[in-house]
Amino acid sequence: MSATIFVSGATGFIAQHIIKQLIDNNYSVVGSVRSASKGDQLKESLKTDKFSYEVVPDIQKEGAFDEALKKHPEVTVFLHTASPFHFNTTDVEKDLLLPAVNGTKNALKAINDHATQVKRVVVTSSYAAMFEGEFDPTYTATEESWTKLTWEQAKENAEIGYVASKAFAEKAAWDFVEEEKPNFSLTTVNPGYVFGPQVFDTAAAGTLNTSSEIINSLLSLGPKDEIPVMQGTWIDVRDVAKGHLAAFESDETIGKRLLLSDEERFSTFKITEIVRDYFSEYKDLPVADKKAHQETVNKFCKVDPSKTWKVLQFEPIDIETSVIDSVSQILKNKK
Ligand code: NDP
């Protein structure tokens, strides 16, 4: 019999891809969801008895994962993806920092106290936790880079708060392993902005999850609108899911931070150009100055994820494919 994997935040954009790949690879999955109705809906969409769920309404509540893990002694791998990823708050500490950090601590404590059979734990961190030299074009970010924001700085606004929430949560995970010496080994997955289609076509409608919405929001621009300036490191969601599987399947990933990113940054100029060139439906999107993409990304640091790709050994999906697959799915829902 193949292993049973616990996935926290099972209804999330990334988690659903992870769950699909786990099931395709013959694993069984126990997912944590915030409510039974969300769990039932996901179970119905997945159409498999290899998926079951436990309700964990709020990961930051002390002991949040205890009962779920006590009920599933068959779980041997824990993938912690649940964490708030949005910028809709003015109370950064309450809505971003505390759930991210306490959610991670609660997950690891529950495993240590009630599921000592778990041997591998993967925490979904972020490139945001590696923002050490993000605004310095002479810096190169690697698996060793660490965001150095303080808790006070983090409370300034939701964007900074989210970045810091990922750094503090990841740090809490490494500290836990260092201090408690648990039975499990830890790996973190640190993706850039995650693009690509939703697992289920019908989910690609209305306002999407934070990272997918970057592409979605560009589709409503008129020919004379200014393209909102945004850039970042990026990766396709199908590769993020693959990275999570490799993160617990391979011994080479133990104790590592996997920087899941393309070497080239995206910009909203580049995405708009790909969409306009490929889709006749979007030929009226605004045309950007030819130099806009390069000038935008040149203001930020370089990224060198080569150590990660050496371990993972698969070819990541390119930006054209990722954007085209995302937009094709959105269009399918509009027709
Ligand atoms: P989603 O918002 O789609 O998923 C987040 C998941 O976490 C949802 O299932 C959500 O439940 C759950 N969750 C959030 N807060 C709580 C809470 N307090 N209690 C219980 N559950 C909670 O985001 P993504 O799939 O994009 O992100 C998943 C992970 O990947 C996060 O850790 C994020 O920081 C990280 N990440 C994402 C990137 C991206 O570009 N998408 C890039 C790098 C890292 P519900 O939907 O019911 O609220």
Residue 135 gets which letter from DSSP?
A: T
pLDDT higher than threshold 80 for residue 174: yes
Q: Whose CA is nearest to atom 4 of ligand 1?
A: 12
pLDDT higher than threshold 90 for residue 290: no
pLDDT level of residue 72 (50, 70, 90 thresholds) = very high
Task: Specify the 3-state DSSP secondary structure of 197.
Answer: coil
Name 332's Cβ contacts closer than 8 Å, sequence gap at least 6.
201, 204
High-pLDDT (> 70) share of the chain, %: 100
Pairing of strands 28-33, 4-8: parallel
Atom of ligand 1 nearest to the CA of 234: 40
pLDDT level of residue 204 (50, 70, 90 thresholds) = very high
pLDDT level of residue 312 (50, 70, 90 thresholds) = very high
Name 158's Cβ contacts closer than 8 Å, sequence gap at least 6.
86, 87, 88, 89, 90, 92, 96
**Residue to mutate, 33, 34, 236, ligand 1, most ligand atoms under 8 Å from C-beta:** 34
20-46 b/e (C-beta count within 10 Å ≥ 16 → b): bbbbeeebbbbbbbbeeeebeebbeeb
> What digits encode the pLDDT tens for the residues 128-155?
999 999 999 999 999 999 999 999 999 9
Atom of ligand 1 nearest to the CA of 162: 34
Task: Specify the 3-state DSSP secondary structure of 28.
Answer: strand
Residue 282 gets which letter from DSSP?
A: G
Atom of ligand 1 nearest to the CA of 169: 32
Q: Is the distance from the beta carbon of residue 58 to the nearest atom of ligand 1 less than 6 Å?
A: yes
Considering the chain, tell me which residue range(s) the CATH 3.40.50.720 domain(s) occupy. 4-194+235-260
Euclidean distance between CA atoms 333 and 329, whole angstroms:
7
Mean confidence (pLDDT) of the chain? 97
| Amino acid present at 22 | L
Q: Is the distance from the beta carbon of residue 191 to the nearest atom of ligand 1 less than 6 Å?
A: yes
> What digits encode the pLDDT tens for the residues 2-27?
899 999 999 999 999 999 999 999 99
Q: What is the pLDDT of residue 1?
A: 54
> What digits encode the pLDDT tens for the residues 45-66?
999 999 999 999 999 999 999 9
CA of 274 to the centre of ligand 1 (A): 27
Neighbours of 228 (CB within 10 A): 11
Query: In angstroms, what CA-CA distances link 332 with 13, 108, 201, 232?
Result: 18, 40, 8, 27
CATH number for the domain formed by residue range(s) 4-194+235-260: 3.40.50.720
pLDDT higher than threshold 80 for residue 38: yes
Supply 34's token pair: 């915030």
Q: What is the pLDDT of residue 334?
A: 86
pLDDT level of residue 166 (50, 70, 90 thresholds) = very high
Euclidean distance between CA atoms 111 and 105, whole angstroms:
10
Atom of ligand 1 nearest to the CA of 80: 32
**Sign of the CA dihedral with 113 first, then 118, 124, and 129 last:** positive
Q: Is the distance from the beta carbon of residue 198 to the nearest atom of ligand 1 less than 6 Å?
A: no
